[in-house]
Amino acid sequence: MKRETVKPLSILHVDLDQFYAAVEILDFPELRGKPLIVGGRPDSRGVVSTASYEARAFGVHSAMPSAQAARLCPQALWRAPRMDRYAEKSREVRAVYERFTDQIEPLSLDEAFLDVAGSLQLFGSAETIGQRIKNEILRDTGLVASVGVAENKFLAKVASDLKKPNGFVVIPPGAENAKAVLFPLAVSRLWGVGPKTCERLNALGIFKIADLATADSDWLARRIGEESARHLLLLSHGIDARSVESGGMAKSIGRENTFARDVYSLDEMERELLAFADEVGARLRAAGIKCKGVTLKVKFGDFKRVSRAALFDEPTDLGETLYSAAREMLRTRVDFGGKGVRLLGIAATHLAAASAEVPSLFADPSSERKERAAQTIDKLRAKFGDGAVTFGRLLEGRQENTGTPSDRPK
């Protein structure tokens, strides 16, 4: 495997540790040191958004059904997500990034890639910049970040995860340095290797990244496909040519989950979509953004992917509207063919600042009422947090098709 020309260190991956839980602990210090779960309560059919490290010790993790988390850790304290507050803290963290570079690619509220190549002469090495960013995030926001520094995005992401929490890892440039870090790791650490792929690779005798990196490329391609083999072989050698994609507003705001087991129940999928839509809508409102479209993403157990998209007549930031469209696409535009679903997600697309929206001469009064209700819910959650309002309960008892004509996908 030929390696690309060695590049100097310039890529950082910054990941805020137990972010939602950390914000709750900042705002409510009495939660410190206790098993804390942020997410839908067990009686609301919700899922875990984040768990504190004290709760993770009992096996609780993000995207786990809340009922299961409650069985694993019955003594846990629960708080409902407050997306507007998390978005506020995320903006504070971004302000720290912007002191050092404008090349910022947010992946979510709590993690981002940074390219500091243009800042080295001003601030020093990438390692120095990474340490300063880590220190200033803690000083200015009270949040702890794990930081990885490397020559590309994949290696930086791996580095930030190696010594969590409160980690700081530098992978020096060069093939041998990448090999020293990657080869002992489980093959599941490669992007694109989920539980099913991991099982297939294990069945081939591939357990560590070193096993994959030293496998014959033709042999591997015959067993997992040429494209997958090439992708994984490149990553196994620490090769990643993708650049940090900075820009103004994000192209989409989404939420997805890879299930521990394939899901066959449509009701279970819809419950996931309900939670996703609620979170995405709250993130849109917190950021002052509305969307004109929504995309549904489905990956089956055999790794086949499908996506379906819909557009709205009017921009929206309502989780209910997103959910209605996503559910309709799931029911009518996805051919399951008896296969289970491995990954499910939605994304709000065609984003624009809410302030840029031109008021319609024919505004739908019901939509206006829903917007006011959503804003009230955000305020209640920000103030009271734990179980203040559960989105699923708001929709219980409503008609099967909750979207207005202007909400429905084209």
Q: Provide the pLDDT for residue 47.
A: 82
Task: For residue range 52-62, list pLDDT tens digits in order.
Answer: 999 999 999 88
Q: Is 54 a catalytic residue?
A: no
What is the domain class of 183-236 according to CATH?
mainly alpha
What confidence score (pLDDT) does residue 227 get? Answer: 87
Higher pLDDT: 394 or 251? It is 251
Q: In terms of pLDDT, which residue wins out, 382 or 40?
A: 40
Model confidence pLDDT, tens digit, residues 160-205: 999 999 999 999 999 999 999 999 999 999 987 878 889 999 999 9
Indicate which residue of 24, 105, 111, 320 is catalytic. Answer: 111
Q: Where are the domains of the chain?
A: 8-171, 183-236, 252-395
Task: Reply yes or no on whether the pLDDT at 317 is more than 70.
Answer: yes
Stretch among 104-108, 284-288, 355-359 having the lowest mean pLDDT: 355-359
- Burial (0-12, 13-18, 19+ Cβ within 10 Å), 404: middle
- The superfamily (CATH) of domain 8-171 is Reverse transcriptase/Diguanylate cyclase domain (3.30.70.270)
What does the mean pLDDT of the chain come to?
Answer: 85
Is 361's pLDDT higher than 60?
no
Average pLDDT over residues 108-117: 92
Q: Which CATH number fits domain 252-395: 1.20.1730.10, 2.40.50.140, 3.30.1490.100, 3.40.30.10?
A: 3.30.1490.100
Cβ count within 10 A of residue 139: 9
